[in-house]
Amino acid sequence: MIERQELKPAFDLSRLTTGKQLVWINPEAGRTETEEEQAQAVKLTMVDVDDAEARLQRFAPFIKRCFPETDAADGMIESALVPVPKMQGRINEKYGAKLSGRLYLKLDSHLPIAGSIKARGGIYEVLKHTEDLALEHGLITLKDSYEVLADDQNRKFFSRYTIQVGSTGNLGLSIGIMSAAVGYQVIVHMSADAREWKKELLRSHGVTVIEYESDYSGAVKSGRKLSEQDPYSYFVDDENSENLFLGYAVAAKRLKTQLAAQEIIVDGEHPLFVYIPCGVGGAPGGVAFGLKRVFGDSVHCFFVEPVEAPCMLAGMASGLHNDISVRDIGLSGITHADGLAVGRPSGFVGKMMEPLLGGIFTVSDANLYEYLRDLLDTEEVFLEPSACAAFAGPVMLNRYKETKEYLRLHCLEDKMARAVHIAWATGGNLVPEPVRQEYRNTFL
């Protein structure tokens, strides 16, 4: 265990305003959890993650019935873990990344139904709420096959209820599509950053889309208020929801099985590095929480945020969490990474990450498009710009003095040849072809 004081050079927030990419190493990474944190950790434990996993299992027959694309996986919403050696070669040549070990891609970009990591948390929360209502009103018992929830009379029951959510796009897609499948009325409050095609796709599912001039926090605030006025309405609160968080955390248990199936060892001698794009923090936070519970000190989790919207970095480095917005330090919060265009982080997630997170990289919008083309060229995988942020980790790990120091302090230097790096590809599969073309041809 590393003592906090040993590592604690305070981070100068004004560095964020230079517009340059950088890394923040969490000075508390690897320290022992405080009593308060342990109490928090007791509130949200692996038992809750197991419970979430079991709930998704109960819903599998329903999911399979509503979404035939999940047939092959028997109603389980999961993505592949694939090696990307050509991309690794590319980043080593093009950016001098010197990345040893093996680079993998976790293809949440290709998750069924929503085509993004939001198919984990967003869909889970809608299903959790659905189960609560269905049990309360005697539509099902825990022992029934939940397939019956797709029957007409049950859909009619759910149509009395409304689900609302604030979103930069992808959360709205996952909640909107799943809620519409259950039969709910759905209202998605979209921030100014949301892409037009995402709004259109939602409307085609019968979802009401309300557009805002404001940023993400503004859309959430308004949605939360409108939902509170309607007793039949349920608000999915991305900034505070433990359900969303648990839905994301299930990914860690599934990843463990996947790694074992591919005979990839993770232990003290074989470190695992995971790089996840971060917006408000729920998705990367949930995944990282699960991974730390599953792999402990053998896993090193890093988030990546846009240079103009490093909200989790600002919140964690200052200790102010959701009491700071990137605007407070003179940043615009505006970025091409629409999924990451968040100015104020989730306070609940930031606090939870204090003893767990390795650090946070920032990435320029220009590089997102470079990585997008690099991956298409080398591996023929398309990701949306937000998801490409993940590559800033593997590209820069061996280049910053701070990350080199992290590797030294955690006694990782001589283990790197055996390391596995996972870039968490958080979205892209639903992006329409013309928009893909536009991305491919964007040079900043």
Ligand X SMILES: *Cc1c(COP(=O)(O)O)cnc(C)c1O
Give the residues lining the site for ligand X (CB under 6 A): 116-118, 170, 277-284, 339-340, 342, 384, 386-387, 426-427
H or E element that contains 360: strand 359-363
d(CA 375, CA 314): 29
Q: How far is the CB of 151 from ligand X (least distance, A)?
A: 32
Q: How far is the CB of 144 from ligand X (least distance, A)?
A: 32
Find out whether 118 and 165 touch, Cβ atoms under 8 Å: no
Q: Which residue lies nearer to ligand X by CB, 62 or 439?
A: 439
Q: How far is the CB of 148 from ligand X (least distance, A)?
A: 32
d(CA 319, CA 314): 8
DSSP state of 232: T
Q: Which residue lies nearer to ligand X by CB, 187 or 368?
A: 368
Q: Which residue lies nearer to ligand X by CB, 236 or 419?
A: 236
Please count the residues of the chain. Answer: 444
Q: How far is the CB of 278 from ligand X (least distance, A)?
A: 5
Name 362's bridge partners. Answer: 305
Q: How far is the CB of 280 from ligand X (least distance, A)?
A: 4
Q: How far is the CB of 33 from ligand X (least distance, A)?
A: 22
Q: How far is the CB of 390 from ligand X (least distance, A)?
A: 8
Q: Which residue lies nearer to ligand X by CB, 202 or 278?
A: 278
Q: Which residue lies nearer to ligand X by CB, 64 or 189?
A: 189
Q: Which residue lies nearer to ligand X by CB, 149 or 278?
A: 278
Q: How far is the CB of 346 from ligand X (least distance, A)?
A: 8
Q: Which residue lies nearer to ligand X by CB, 56 or 244?
A: 244
d(CA 233, CA 63): 23
Find out whether 262 and 301 touch, Cβ atoms under 8 Å: no
CA angle 318, 321, 312 (to 5 degrees): 85
DSSP state of 270: B
- The token duo for 372 is 């997008």
Q: Which residue lies nearer to ligand X by CB, 158 or 303?
A: 303
d(CA 312, CA 296): 22
Q: How far is the CB of 286 from ligand X (least distance, A)?
A: 8
Q: Which residue lies nearer to ligand X by CB, 340 or 407?
A: 340
CA angle 268, 49, 393 (to 5 degrees): 50
Q: How far is the CB of 17 from ligand X (least distance, A)?
A: 22
d(CA 255, CA 294): 10
Q: Which residue is nearest to ligand X (CB)?
A: 279
Residue 319, amino acid: G
Q: Which residue lies nearer to ligand X by CB, 30 or 427?
A: 427
Find out whether 216 and 280 touch, Cβ atoms under 8 Å: yes
Q: How far is the CB of 389 from ligand X (least distance, A)?
A: 7
The number of angstroms, rounded, from the C-alpha of 77 to the middle of its chain's C-alpha atoms is 15
The number of angstroms, rounded, from the C-alpha of 4 to the middle of its chain's C-alpha atoms is 27
Question: Which among 396, 371, 393, 395 is positioned nearest to 384, based on CA atoms?
Answer: 371
Q: How far is the CB of 117 from ligand X (least distance, A)?
A: 6
Residue 176, amino acid: G
Report helix angle 85-95 to 365-379, nearest 10: 130
- Which residues, other chains included, contact 341 with Cβ-Cβ below 8 Å and sequence gap of 6+? 168, 191, 193, 215, 216, 279, 306, 309, 333, 334, 335
Cβ burial 415-433 (10 Å sphere, 16+ → b, else e) = bbeebbbbbbbbbbbbbee
Q: Which residue lies nearer to ligand X by CB, 105 or 340?
A: 340
- The token duo for 141 is 């018992």
Q: Which residue lies nearer to ligand X by CB, 127 or 342?
A: 342
